[in-house]
């Protein structure tokens, strides 16, 4: 059963918050040891980066909706551009297309510099 | 075999033991997905897993965030690649494409398989899927591209190497 994406306990697990910036919303994740993939380099697991980008996409959709709705992710295509270290990670999203039943969102993640992405994803969502 | 016994580029005599260490309860992330190695060979890996409470979509229901499936798939892709190339070279995920077909639930026993279907130069191609153990229902399928021989230490690296 699809859920309202604005109320999701996974945000606690990701330690995820959001800020209304001047030109866009920026989401922030504070990683810790439970998010590590490779213990040798203490990098955030690629699946966790993906999960963060998916949440950014869902939350961006939910903030644009005026009426109650729910959504499910159909697919995610993610590129890993740099190793994500164990420090705050930021995300932002652009809704490429919001149709009656489907939405496509581009989401990006970075750490120290928004011009040096750690990952980017295109996420398709079915909206009810 | 211990985690400290493995060096970059080293072959592993006992892949089953390595596989159990890789997905085992001592890993900070994998332990939250209760991953249990079922099979490992050059041709592929099979793992059973159950998604933990932390991945719930809402406090009320059992539905889990589908991103947990990508965490599992990315993880076993790495393990399957190590087993395929029969070496502990550093690897990195380049890209993942995951189709979420069904809704996973917290506590549901999952069967997760992964294999390497092509290597060209330093690029390995992986594919896998996650199914409900009892019903056989496919919950997610994924393909991915990995780079072999990246900079930095491999998964279990001796200190100083």
Sequence-separated (6 or more) residues with CB below 8 Å from residue A16: A10, A27, A28, A29, A52, A55
Could you tell me what percent of chain B has a pLDDT over 70? 86
The pLDDT score that the predictor gives to residue B161 is 37
Residue B6 predicted with pLDDT over 70: no
Q: How far B43 CA lies from chain A's nearest CA (Å)? A: 23
The pLDDT tens digits for B132-156 are 999 999 999 999 999 998 776 666 5
The ipTM of this complex is 0.91
Q: Give contacts of B32 with chain A, Cβ < 8 Å.
A: 34
Q: What separation in angstroms does the CA of B61 have from each of A1, B56, B72, B107?
A: 9, 8, 21, 12
- How far apart CA B68 and CA B108 sit, in angstroms, is 12
In CATH, the architecture of B3-148 is Roll (3.10)
CB contact under 8 A, A72 and B98: no
Segment B11-25, tens digit of pLDDT? 566 888 888 888 887
Q: Taking CB atoms and an 8 Å limit, are B63 and A1 in contact across chains?
A: yes
List the single residue in B29, B70, B98 with the smallest CB-CB distance to A34. Answer: B29
User: Which helix (H) or strand (E) covers residue B87, if one does?
Assistant: none
Which residues on B lie below 8 Å from A8 (Cβ)?
Answer: 57-58, 65
Give yes or no for residue A37 having a pLDDT over 50. yes
Closest CA to A46 of B78, B100, B9: B78
The neighbouring-strand residues paired with B113 are B46, B129
In this predicted structure, what is the pLDDT of residue B77? Answer: 97
Closest Cβ–Cβ partner in A7, A37, A75 for B58: A7
Domain edges within chain B: 3-148
Read off the pLDDT band of B8 (50, 70, 90).
Answer: low
Average pLDDT, chain B: 87
Q: What is the pLDDT of residues B68-81, one digit of tens each?
A: 999 999 999 999 99
Residue ranges covered by each domain of chain A: 10-127
DSSP A69-101: --EEEEEEEEEE-S--BSS-EEEEEEEEEE-SS
Q: What is the pLDDT of residues B14-72, one digit of tens each?
A: 888 888 888 887 788 888 899 999 999 999 999 999 999 999 998 888 999 999 999 99
Q: What is the pLDDT of residue B4?
A: 44
> CA of A75, closest CA in chain B: separation in Å?
4
Q: Which residues of A touch B95 (CB under 8 A)?
A: 77-80
B99: closest CA of chain A, how far (Å): 4
Residues 6+ apart with CB under 8 A from A123: A53, A54, A57, A73, A75, A76, A77, A104, A105, A106, A107
Topology (CATH level 3) of domain A10-127? Thiol Ester Dehydrase; Chain A (3.10.129)
């Amino acid at each position: 059963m699809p859920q309202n994406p604005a109320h999701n306990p996974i945000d606690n697990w990701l330690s995820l918050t959001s800020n209304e910036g001047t030109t866009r919303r920026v989401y922030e994740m504070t990683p810790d040891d439970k998010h590590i993939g490779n213990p040798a380099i203490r990098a955030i697991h690629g699946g966790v980066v993906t999960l963060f980008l998916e949440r950014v996409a869902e939350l961006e959709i939910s903030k644009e909706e005026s009426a109650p709705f729910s959504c499910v992710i159909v697919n995610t295509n993610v590129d890993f551009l740099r190793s994500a270290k164990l420090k705050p990670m930021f995300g932002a999203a652009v809704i490429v297309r919001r149709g009656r039943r489907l939405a496509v969102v581009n989401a990006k993640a970075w750490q120290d510099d928004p011009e040096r992405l750690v990952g980017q994803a295109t996420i398709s969502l079915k909206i009810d | 075999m211990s985690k400290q016994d493995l060096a970059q580029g080293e072959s592993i005599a006992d892949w089953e033991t390595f596989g159990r260490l890789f997905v085992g309860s001592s890993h900070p992330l994998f332990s939250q997905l209760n991953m249990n190695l079922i099979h490992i060979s050059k041709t592929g890996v099979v793992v059973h897993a159950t998604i933990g409470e932390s991945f719930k979509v809402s406090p009320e229901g059992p539905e889990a965030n589908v991103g947990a499936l990508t965490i599992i798939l990315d993880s076993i892709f790495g393990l399957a690649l190590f087993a395929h190339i029969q070496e502990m070279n550093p690897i990195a995920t380049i890209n993942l494409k995951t189709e979420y077909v069904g809704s996973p639930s917290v506590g549901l026993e999952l069967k997760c398989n992964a294999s390497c279907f092509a290597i060209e130069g330093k690029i390995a191609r992986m594919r896998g899927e996650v199914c409900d153990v009892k019903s056989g229902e496919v919950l997610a399928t994924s393909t991915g591209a990995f780079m072999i021989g990246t900079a930095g230490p491999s998964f279990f690296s001796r200190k100083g190497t």
